[in-house]
Amino acid sequence: MNKFHTGFAATLMLSAAVFFTSCHKDEVIDGFGDLVIEMDNIAGSSSLTFGSKYVTANGDTVQFSTFNYYVSNFVLVNEDGSEYVVPKDSSYFLCKHDDAASRELTLRNVPAGNYKAIKFTIGVDSLKSVSPAGERLGVLDPTGGASGMYWSWNSGYIFVKVEGTSPQAPADPNTGERTFQYHTGLFGGKDSPTLNNIKSVQINADEESAMVRKDHEAPVFHLYVDILEMFTNPSNINIATNPKSHAGAFSATVANNYADMFSLAHVHNH
């Protein structure tokens, strides 16, 4: 190829690059779209499977049979630093490991933008916990979607429920079963003060923002949720010593551990 053609080709390629860059910069980002948050439950480096054996940081062997958790109060952080607060009534989700559909959360009518981080709460905030029953519907209905995840005696939700068996757990004198059970809630108390085990999470997407666009397929924040994190950091849980936890002081240890069980797998833009 002679110098003329070589130079012409280089100029053409440069012009094309400038054109596409200009188009990207001039892109009008308006309207509303959806954003999906996918919760992928794991146990350390493995997928979580009920009945499979895993080993905790303390060296205890565990088999899980229940893993449920509430996430709520979502906030999306745009790349320009602005925040979109998801309307409260559209911001409560109950994720259950044995219900895959419950772990794909769709946030609808999100302002178009490039979202680089998400913030949310593990649990249900105090205001919603004490609001009239008629304002707590769907997964917050104690007689419906929240069945098994609500303490009527305490007017509060179980934020995270983990159950299973372990040879290190004491044997039940009646059944001989060696079970562990961690039901963690408490939002500060309705009629009298309690522990506040509500935890806040922020997940940053450093490499790629979630691009919400009108009439486009929803981008996905794919998160890992590591159940074994509940047993370690900052405190290793010894199942022989603490096989059960509900509303007592030890629940703070459990909550402090599971506060970091969420991490980013990747962001997927279609």
Q: What are the residue ranges spanned by the domains of the chain?
A: 1-28, 31-268
What pLDDT sits at residue 63?
A: 98
Instruction: Report d(CA 75, CA 126) in Å as an integer.
Output: 18
Q: What is the DSSP string of 113-124?
A: EEEEEEEEEES-
CB atoms within 10 A of CB 170: 14
pTM for the structure as a whole:
0.89
Residues across the chain: 270
What pLDDT sits at residue 108?
A: 97
Element spanning 5, H or E? helix 3-25
Of the candidates 230, 220, 218, the one whose C-alpha atom is nearest the C-alpha of residue 259 is 230
Mean pLDDT by 10 residues, the chain (270 residues): 44 43 57 98 98 98 98 98 96 98 98 98 95 94 96 88 98 96 94 92 96 96 98 98 97 98 96
Phi, psi of 37 (to 5 degrees): -120, 115
What pLDDT sits at residue 27?
A: 64
* Distances in whole angstroms, Cα of residue 53 to Cα of each of 98, 155, 233: 17, 35, 21
